[in-house]
Structure 1
Amino acid sequence: MDIDPSPSTSSGDLMALTQSSLPKIDENNAIESKTPKERILELLDVLESHVEKLRREAAQLEEDRDHLLSSLDSVRNTDLIIELADNDRDDVCRYAERIMNRCLTVEVKILTQRDKTQEEALHQVNHLIDGLVMCVKSDPENAKAKCVSFMNACSSNIVHGVTDKKFESALLGCTVDDQKRVKKRLQGLLHYFDKLNVTSIQ
């Protein structure tokens, strides 16, 4: 999702907002007076903080969207669906599909600057995770064990299991932002596995 400035926010409002965050300067005090460059740098510092805040909020929206999609997928694959009558199952599946499609209309896009090596590392990481996802239904236990080994590669504190060295090597080649996103994605997958276990028990 390309985030556009709020239509109610004019450039004058933005300048007022940023200037209100700047320290008060007494121009009559020669000791505290600053050069034009220093004043501009102060303004840019404030604007940079707003940009980073915007990126954090967009990242949170992206995470919220992924959680919703994961929850919807869990509902569509719950064992309870099988227990429904054909007509009821069709109604529930159409309802879930409609919500899923509605959620997919929201796109959050945060660009991360990467060099060629980092691009290749991220591609390799995504390829490994996609392979894990492909075997979730056919072999959930092995998929979860693989997910745990990937998760261990993201943390210095290994909870249990082994660390996938191939995944760890690829992950270390990624940018810091990508490493954070990969870790959150794996956390979401582990949460999904836990929900599958709860569903099967019920």
Structure 2
Amino acid sequence: MDIVPWLAAAALPTIDESQAVSPHPPKQRLLNVLDQVEARVEKLRKDAARIEEEKDNLLATLDAIRDSEWMLELDECIERDEMKHSIERVLSRCMTVETIVHTNRDPQQEECLHKVNQFIDSLVIGLKSDPVAARTQCYSYMNACAFQSTASDSGVPADRFFESAILGCTLDDQKKVKKRLQGLLDYFARMNIIET
């Protein structure tokens, strides 16, 4: 008899007690099943993180459309209002999708992530007043993340305070922060910021 019949429907390993004769002891059989389930859990987490990232990309695209020159090029105010309404409709629909992948953190990792977010929030706030300085700061943060890979060729030294904070974060958080910074750098590239 299957103890977990719903696993069979999902093509996952099942625990079948009818197999009385087996070359492996019960503990080993259970560990084998748990290993397979754990691998599926990790795949589920990666899939959910991918969906979360895709949603963020879609929201960023909608923001870019809303602030694009195309909107200003529309002939009439009525066309603009119609387009804004369409954007809001798609935005509302996108917001109906929710995925949450919880990352376990100890208090020190929570504090480090809080510091990293404060650094990035300050960078985003400074973007409006001085985009050139914000871009340079973003490069210094990205270079601080380069402890896992080769440093970028931006010529901007890594921010040591940011590096200290990011090193205290979980690996999942480090990857997310790096993607967030890359997204900001891509945004700067689209803005065509020229140093004077």
Question: How would you bin the TM-score normalised by the shorter chain?
Answer: 0.7 to 0.9
SS at 2:27's partner residue? helix
Q: Which residue pairs with 2:141 in the alignment?
A: 150
1:194 aligns with 2:185: no
Equivalent residue of 2:12, what SS? helix
Which structure 1 residue ranges, 4+ long, deviate > 6 Å from structure 2? Answer: none
Shift of 1:12: 1.1
Q: Which one scores higher on RCO, CA 8 angstroms, separation ≥ 6?
A: 1
Q: CA deviation at 1:27?
A: 4.2
Counterpart residue number, 2:97? 106
Residues 90-137 of structure 1 deviation map (CA, whole Å, 9 limit, x = unaligned): 222222222222222222211011100000001111111122222333
TM-score by length of 2: 0.82
Gap change, CA 1:139 and 1:56, over 3 Å in 2: same
Tell me, in whole angstroms, the C-alpha distance in 1 between the residues paired with 2:135 and 2:94.
26
Select between 185-194 and 105-114 the one with higher mean Cα deviation. 185-194
- Tell me the percent identity: 47
Counterpart position of 1:12: 5
Whole-angstrom distance in 1 between the partners of 2:136 and 2:92? 31
| C-alpha distance in 2 between matches for 1:138 and 1:106 | 34
Distance 1:106 1:196, change over 3 A: farther
Match of 2:49 in 1: 59
Provide the rounded CA distance (Å) in 2 between the counterparts of 1:143 and 1:98: 32
Deviates more, 1:124-133 or 1:45-54: 124-133
Q: 1:61-99: per-residue Cα shift (whole Å, max 9, x none)?
A: 011011111111111112333333333222222222222
Distance 1:26 1:197 in 2: 69
Judged with a 3 Å threshold, the aligned counterparts in structure 2 of structure 1 residues 197 and 75 are, in CA distance, closer, same or farther, namely farther
* Structure 1 stretch displaced more, 111-120 or 182-191: 182-191
Contact 1:78–1:196 (CA under 8 A) maintained in structure 2: no
- Once structures 1 and 2 are overlaid, which stretch shifts more, 44-53 or 136-145? 136-145
Deviations 1:183-202 (A, max 9, x none): 1111222222223339xxxx
1:115-170 residue CA offsets vs partner (Å, 9 max, x unmatched): 00000001111111122222333332222222221111111322112211111111
| Equivalent position SS for 2:13 | helix
Structure 2 unmatched runs, 5+: none
Where structure 1 has 5 or more consecutive residues not aligned to the other structure, the ranges are 1-10
Moved more, 127-136 or 47-56: 127-136
RMSD between superposed Cα atoms in Å = 2.3
Q: 1:33-72 alignment to 2 at 5 Å?
A: 33-72=23-62
Q: Comparing 152-161 with 114-123, which one deviates more in the overlay?
A: 152-161
CA distance in 2, matches of 1:150, 1:61: 26
Cα displacement (A) at 1:175 = 0.5
Question: Which shows bigger deviation, 174-183 or 85-94?
Answer: 85-94
Residue aligning to 2:167: 172
